[in-house]
């Protein structure tokens, strides 16, 4: 590398010189060492004007410098520095010095003295600032060297009196980054200076330039971050800075106050203008609360964010933040929240409010009203009403954090959070719903609050609704009316947005299991049973009815008296649901009901086991029976595949596993079928037309193996080998079929070559696995390899054919977890009869909303395909931001697909589907081989390994569109 660089430097050097006089250049070439420093030296000497020199330096800065020559380069730069009159060139040199000292492996202590010396005579403020910056770089590289740091800090202190803000800025930064933080460890002198550092920085809190003030506060924060304990005396200085004219100063000061409040929470500070004293953390809390109504939104966001992490604050201060005394015409007025609470506690429901319902009551003493509230009063009320949504979100977050640590505060802030559910910005709404969920352990919702919460269920945004369902999963409801209300609203939600079905059922499951006693009195009404009359049996396929049943069955789990209220059909429905929606319906102990208790009695809880057992048994059977007659093998395979598929449908946990193995067996079956064809024995010309089966089988196997490799998450190395092996067999089959059908050896030659290469790479990739593959196709093939390489294509084909037939069938070991990637397109639904009309040649945006399960890295792999009726296909890569991750293994794609086409006469359907793109280069096989065979993999041509393709993994959805011809 270094040699390469030197060579380049050399080239550059000659080039530069050639631009000069020619006879001179020849001479110089011999004289000059081809090192970078020399080249630079010459350049700088040659430079006629400052601008010229600057050009050289700029050019120079673009190239890296090797570690050995850094010092030399620095010396040359310094030499020029002293000679240079133009400040811009000096500035550039100074910045280059900093850049060079950053070079990895270079220790800058040798150039430090020189760098400090340059400061002595410098007049230009900008250059001074840049030099100090360079010193900062040097200092940060030499952090383990206290004397050096001390020295640099001294230098910085000396320049603090400079009249330029830039220099003072840099000095403070330097002190902040390098000032000594370890106290009293070594000498008294050091602790003395440590104190000094804080004092020095503190003195600049009152600097005339706001930028320097900011830098001073930042330096102080930097010291804190580096572990220095700041003195409490800074607190009152910082408090004064809160009233600064400049927002960046205020913003930094808020941070400083926060830091101090965390350091000295329990110290006592006096309240000005009174004799009282309060804890520092309370005082700081009050001050930061005050900043929530600052003029600058940056400060407001900062303040609101920091409030959340001040958990030590006393509770009455905390509760003040939600307090706002209302008045109207000098009379005390109750807030809507208070009124709602009162209505609730008086047992009355909203009375159809009239004008004047909120009429102010008592007179207030004008003297007692404090308009500019001191301290925390109403900080959150203001923050949540702020005009910028950034502030509102920060306030909601802070509320969340504070409420998590204080249950009483959580109770109080509920009203405000509920109000935020109606914010105009969706992010804020979502955030407040999430917040509510996080604090839901601490709270119980009142009915009127629940009412407001439930109203949001009609929101058209799926995110909001789902978040709300999650919230309802973990909320506590206080009354049975509440439960009823929630159920009614959820059912309304269900009829309005049928796609929410799963989410609603899940929500009701938790709602039921959390409130069994509240559900109990509702059961007769919900099931519409009657003590004397039989009521008609409800429709079992009605999602709403299922929802009700889910609620009841989950409640019944911990409420043994409930099943007594069920009618006959309820038990039947229970059995059915327990079977079909086992994840939502818990096992119940139903006394005296044989029908239910016998098949799924709760005593046999590990009922996954039989399924798993079944799976393994059936696979075992297949693997053992290799020596049956071909007919028998085929039949067995067919039955097993059918069983496995059914098992996958029934048992969702095993679906991935079952599908995976079924696919594998399917491949095997196809292979056997293809090899069993009678036509292999027939002379070639005769079955030309009949080769269809074998070649399609080969193609299908190839496709299936790609699916197996890329569509399942949890596939391990062992499986990958088997899959690749299967693919190799398919390729062999393909080769044989082609050999049979094509005349002439020319094309065959290439194919053989390619196949052998593949065998070779297979061997290299999976060399560690080969011992496990006794008697397999590859195993046999590798034995014959020397013969294959030398023989003619026709020979090869013959050998392949026999090995393929003789080879045994490999066991597919199953991994622990296997999940198949699935996708469901929720939108477009494909039900609309109204064509999407647009002018041809222009685009129309189609909203696509889909859920993806078990897709790894969906941002890279999931594509949307649009098929037009004329066979034209379009592949769209959704933006990474379009994917959301609502839960582990789940993703949601919400994107817009742009369609366009030339004009049609009739509306027609296009197909939209999701594809999973794969690239065998990125495959797991490559990953495995990298570890074993890293170097030669690089050498392999990518075309050989890099097969790219797509697997459709969602049902296609049809959309009616109608491009109209443009009107002119």
Partner 1 sequence: SFSLGPGAGQDVGRSCILVSIAGKNVMLDCGMHMGYNDDRRFPDFSYITQNGRLTDFLDCVIISHFHLDHCGALPYFSEMVGYDGPIYMTHPTKAICPILLEDYRKITVDKKGETNFFTSQMIKDCMKKVVAVHLHQTVQVDEELEIKAYYAGHVLGAAMFQIKVGCESVVYTGDYNMTPDRHLGAAWIDKCRPDLLISESTYATTIRDSKRCRERDFLKKVHETVERGGKVLIPVFALGRAQELCILLETFWERMNLKAPIYFSTGLTEKANHYYKLFITWTNQKIRKTFVQRNMFEFKHIKAFDRAYADNPGPMVVFATPGMLHAGQSLQIFRKWAGNEKNMVIMPGYCVQGTVGHKILSGQRKLEMEGRQILEVKMQVEYMSFSAHADAKGIMQLIRQAEPRNVLLVHGEAKKMEFLKQKIEQEFHVNCYMPANGETTTIFTNPSIPVDISLGLLKRETAIGLLPDAKKPKLMHGTLIMKDNSFRLVSPEQALKELGLAEHQLRFTCRVHIQDPRKEHETGLRVYNHLKAILKDYSVQHLPDGSITVESILIQATAHSEDQGTKVLLVSWTYQDEELGSYLTSLLKKGLPQSTA
Residues that bind partner 1 (CB under 8 A): 161, 163, 206-208, 245, 293, 295, 324-330, 333, 335-337, 352-356, 366, 369, 371-372, 381, 384-389, 416, 419-420, 422-425, 452, 455, 458-461, 496
Long-range contacts of 776-784 (CB under 8 A, 24+ apart): 776/725, 776/807, 776/808, 776/810, 777/725, 777/728, 777/729, 777/732, 777/803, 777/804, 777/807, 778/725, 778/728, 779/807, 780/806, 780/807
**Measured from the CB atom, is 30 or 354 closer to partner 1?**
354
Minimum Å gap between C-beta 260 and partner 1 is 22
Which of residues 23 and 424 has its CB atom nearest to partner 1 in the complex?
A: 424
CA distance 467 to 457: 10
Residue 701 · residue 722 · CB < 8 Å: no
What's the closest the beta carbon of residue 411 comes to partner 1, in angstroms? 18
Give the integer Cα–Cα distance in Å for 773 and 16: 64
d(CA 591, CA 605): 17
CA–CA gap between residue 527 and residue 519 (Å, rounded):
12
State CA 532 to chain mean position distance. 57
**Is the Cβ of residue 224 or residue 337 nearer to partner 1 in the bound state?**
337
Q: How far is the CB of 367 from partner 1 (least distance, A)?
A: 9
CB of 292 to partner 1, least distance (A): 11
**Residue 620, exposed/middle/buried by CB under 10 A (0-12, 13-18, 19+)?**
exposed
Question: With respect to partner 1, which residue has the nearer C-beta, 362 or 746?
Answer: 362
Give the nearer residue to partner 1 in terms of CB position, either 208 or 934.
208
**At closest approach, how far in Å is the CB of 383 from partner 1?**
11
Q: Smallest distance, Å, CB 249 to partner 1?
A: 12
- By the 10 Å C-beta count (0-12 exposed, 13-18 middle, 19+ buried), 771 is classed as exposed
Least distance between partner 1 and beta carbon 406 (Å): 22
Of the pair 292, 739, the CB lying nearest partner 1 is at 292
Q: Which is nearer to partner 1, 161 or 274 (CB)?
A: 161
Would you put residue 375 in left (φ > 0), alpha (ψ -120 to 50) or beta?
left
- 97: nearest Cα among 139, 125, 55: 139
Nearest approach in angstroms of CB 433 to partner 1 is 14
780-797 as b/e: b if 16+ CB within 10 A: bbbeeeeebeeeebeebb
In the bound complex, what is the minimum distance in angstroms from residue 242's beta carbon to partner 1?
A: 12
Q: Nearer Cβ to partner 1, position 246 or 838?
A: 246
Beta strands 476-477; 444-445: pairing state = parallel
CB of 809 to partner 1, least distance (A): 56
Tell me the closest approach of the beta carbon of residue 837 to partner 1, in angstroms: 18
Residues 6+ apart with CB under 8 A from 903: 840, 963, 964, 965, 966
Which residue number, 295 or 880, has a Cβ lying nearer to partner 1?
Answer: 295
Phi, psi of 813, rounded to the nearest 5 degrees:
-70, 145
Residue 940 dihedral angles phi and psi, to the nearest 5°: -65, 140
Sheet of 890-899: strands edge to edge? Answer: 822-827, 844-853, 890-899, 883-887
Q: Pick between residue 20 and residue 328 the one whose CB is nearest to partner 1.
A: 328
In the complex, what is the shortest distance from the CB of residue 158 to partner 1, in angstroms, rounded to a whole number?
A: 14
Q: Are 397 and 430 in contact (CB under 8 A)?
A: no
Q: Which is nearer to partner 1, 43 or 459 (CB)?
A: 459
Shortest reach from residue 455's CB to partner 1, in Å: 7
> Distance between CA 556 and CA 573 in Å, rounded?
14
State both tokens at 143.
């952090």
Instruction: CB nearer to partner 1: give 182 or 357.
Output: 357
Least spacing, CB of residue 41 vs partner 1, in Å: 40
Nearer to partner 1, 8 or 332 (CB): 332
With contact defined as beta carbons under 8 Å apart, do 260 and 235 qualify? Answer: yes
- The vertex-92 CA angle with 87 and 98, nearest 5°, equals 130
Distance CA 706, CA 692 (A): 21
Whichever of 388 and 692 has its CB closer to partner 1, that residue is: 388
When the beta carbons of 109 and 458 are compared against partner 1, the nearer one is 458
Give the nearest distance from C-beta 588 to partner 1 in angstroms: 37
- Evaluated on CA atoms 679, 683, 686, 691, the torsion sign reads positive
Question: How many CA atoms are closer than 13 Å to the CA of 718, on its beta-carbon side?
Answer: 10
Helix ranges, 439-496 (H): 447-455, 462-473, 480-496
Which of 75, 341 has the CB closer to partner 1?
341
Residues in CB range of 379: below 8 A, 6 or more apart: 289, 290, 292, 293, 307, 320, 321
* Least distance (Å) between residue 245 CB and partner 1: 5
Please classify residue 347 by burial: count the beta carbons closer than 10 Å to its beta carbon, then call 0-12 exposed, 13-18 middle and 19+ buried.
exposed
CA angle in degrees (0–180, nearest 5) for 858-859-861: 60
Q: What are phi and psi of 112, to 5 degrees?
A: -60, -45
CA-wise closest residue to 520 among 569, 476, 553: 553
Q: Which C-beta is closer to partner 1: that of 340 or that of 698?
A: 340
CB of 161 to partner 1, least distance (A): 6
Classify residue 121 as exposed, middle or buried by CB count within 10 Å of its CB (0-12, 13-18, 19+): exposed
Q: Give least dist CB 372 to partner 1, A.
A: 5
* Cα–Cα dist 506/502, whole Å: 6
Within 10 angstroms of residue 520's Cβ, the number of other Cβ atoms is 17
**SS3 call for 187:** coil
Instruction: Give the nearer residue to partner 1 in terms of CB position, either 356 or 942.
Output: 356
3-state secondary structure 563-599: HHHCCHHHHHHHHHHHHHCCCCCCCCCCCCCHHHHCC
């Amino acid at each position: 590398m270094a040699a390469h660089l030197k060579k380049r430097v050399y080239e550059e050097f000659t080039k530069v010189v050639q631009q000069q006089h020619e006879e001179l250049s020849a001479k110089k070439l011999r004289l000059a060492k081809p090192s970078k420093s020399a080249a630079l030296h010459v350049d700088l000497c040659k430079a006629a004007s400052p601008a010229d020199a600057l050009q050289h330096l700029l050019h120079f800065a673009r190239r890296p410098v090797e570690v050995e020559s850094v010092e030399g380069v620095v010396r040359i730069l310094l030499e020029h520095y002293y000679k240079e009159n133009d400040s811009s060139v000096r500035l550039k040199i100074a910045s280059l010095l900093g850049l060079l000292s950053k070079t990895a492996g270079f220790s800058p202590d040798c150039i430090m003295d020189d760098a400090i010396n340059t400061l002595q005579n410098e007049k230009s403020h900008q250059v001074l600032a840049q030099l100090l910056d360079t010193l900062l770089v040097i200092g940060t590289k030499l952090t383990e060297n206290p004397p050096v740091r001390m020295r640099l800090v001294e230098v910085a202190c000396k320049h603090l009196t400079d009249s330029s803000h830039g220099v003072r800025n840099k000095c403070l930064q330097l002190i902040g980054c390098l000032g000594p933080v370890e106290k009293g460890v070594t000498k008294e002198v050091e602790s003395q200076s440590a104190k000094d550092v804080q004092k020095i920085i503190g003195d600049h809190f009152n600097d005339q330039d706001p930028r320097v003030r900011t830098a001073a506060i930042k330096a102080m924060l930097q010291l804190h971050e580096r572990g220095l304990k700041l003195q409490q005396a800074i607190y009152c200085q910082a408090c004064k800075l809160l009233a600064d004219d400049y927002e960046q100063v205020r913003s930094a000061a808020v941070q400083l106050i926060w830091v101090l409040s965390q350091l000295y929470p329990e110290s006592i500070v006096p309240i000005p203008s009174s004799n009282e004293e309060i804890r520092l953390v309370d005082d700081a809390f009050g001050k930061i609360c005050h900043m929530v109504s600052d003029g600058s939104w940056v400060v407001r966001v900062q303040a609101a964010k920091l409030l959340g992490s001040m958990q030590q604050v006393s509770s009455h201060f905390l509760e003040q933040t939600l307090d706002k005394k209302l008045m109207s015409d000098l009379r005390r007025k109750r807030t809507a929240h208070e009124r709602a609470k009162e209505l609730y506690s008086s047992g009355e429901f909203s009375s159809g409010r009239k004008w004047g319902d909120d009429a102010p009551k008592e007179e207030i003493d004008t003297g007692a009203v404090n308009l500019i509230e001191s301290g925390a009063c109403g900080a959150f009320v203001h923050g949540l009403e702020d005009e910028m949504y950034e502030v509102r979100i920060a306030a909601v977050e802070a509320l969340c954090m504070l409420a998590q640590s204080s249950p009483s505060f959580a109770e109080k802030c509920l009203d405000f959070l509920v109000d935020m559910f109606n914010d105009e910005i969706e992010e804020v709404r979502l955030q407040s719903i999430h917040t509510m969920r996080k604090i839901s352990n601490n709270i119980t919702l009142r009915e009127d609050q629940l009412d407001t919460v439930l109203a949001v269920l009609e929101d058209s945004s799926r995110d909001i609704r789902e978040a709300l369902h999650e919230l309802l999963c973990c909320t506590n409801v206080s009354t049975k009316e509440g439960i009823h209300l929630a159920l009614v609203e959820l059912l309304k939600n269900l009829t309005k947005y049928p796609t929410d079905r799963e989410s609603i059922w899940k929500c009701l499951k938790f709602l039921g299991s959390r409130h069994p006693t509240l559900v109990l009195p509702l059961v007769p009404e919900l099931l519409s049973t009657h003590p004397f009359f039989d009521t008609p049996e409800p429709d079992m396929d009605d999602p709403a009815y299922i929802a009700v049943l889910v609620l009841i069955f989950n409640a019944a789990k911990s409420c043994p008296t409930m099943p007594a209220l069920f009618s006959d059909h309820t038990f039947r429905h229970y059995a059915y649901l327990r079977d079909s929606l086992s994840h939502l319906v818990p096992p119940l102990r139903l006394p005296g009901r044989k029908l239910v208790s016998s098949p799924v009695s709760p005593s046999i809880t590990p009922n996954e086991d039989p399924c798993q057992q079944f799976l393994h048994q059936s696979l075992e059977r297949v693997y053992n029976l290799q020596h049956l007659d071909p007919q028998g093998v085929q039949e067995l395979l067919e039955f097993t595949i059918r069983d496995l598929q059914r098992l996958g449908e029934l048992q969702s946990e095993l679906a991935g596993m079952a599908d995976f193995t079924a696919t594998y067996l399917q491949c095997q079956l196809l292979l056997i079928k293809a090899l069993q064809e009678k036509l292999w024995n027939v002379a070639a010309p005769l079955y030309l037309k009949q080769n269809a089966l074998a070649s399609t089988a080969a193609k299908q196997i190839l496709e299936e193996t790609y699916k197996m490799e890329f569509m399942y998450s949890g596939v391990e190395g062992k499986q990958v080998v088997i899959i690749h092996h299967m693919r190799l067999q398919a390729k062999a089959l393909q080769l044989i079929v082609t050999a049979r059908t094509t005349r002439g050896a020319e094309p065959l030659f290439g194919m053989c070559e390619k196949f052998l290469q593949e065998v070779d790479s297979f061997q290299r990739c999976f060399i560690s696995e080969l011992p496990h593959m006794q008697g397999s196709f590859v195993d046999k093939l590798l034995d014959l390899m020397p013969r294959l390489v030398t023989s003619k294509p026709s020979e090869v084909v013959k050998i392949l054919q026999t090995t393929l037939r003789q080879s045994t069938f490999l066991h597919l070991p199953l991994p622990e977890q296997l999940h198949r990637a699935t996708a469901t397109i929720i939108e477009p639904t494909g039900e609309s009869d109204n064509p999407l009309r647009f002018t041809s040649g222009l685009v129309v945006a189609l909203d696509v909303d889909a859920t993806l399960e078990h897709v790894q890295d969906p941002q890279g792999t999931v594509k949307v395909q649009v098929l037009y009726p004329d066979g034209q296909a379009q592949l769209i890569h959704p933006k990474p931001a379009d994917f959301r991750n609502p839960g582990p293994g789940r993703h949601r794609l919400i994107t817009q697909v742009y369609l366009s086409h030339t004009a049609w006469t009739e509306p027609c359907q296009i197909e939209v589907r999701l594809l999973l793109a794969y690239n065998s280069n990125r495959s797991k096989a490559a990953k495995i081989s990298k570890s074993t065979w890293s170097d030669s993999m690089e050498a392999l041509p990518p075309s050989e390994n890099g097969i790219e393709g797509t697997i459709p993994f969602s049902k296609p959805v049809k959309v009616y569109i109608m491009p109209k011809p443009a009107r002119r």
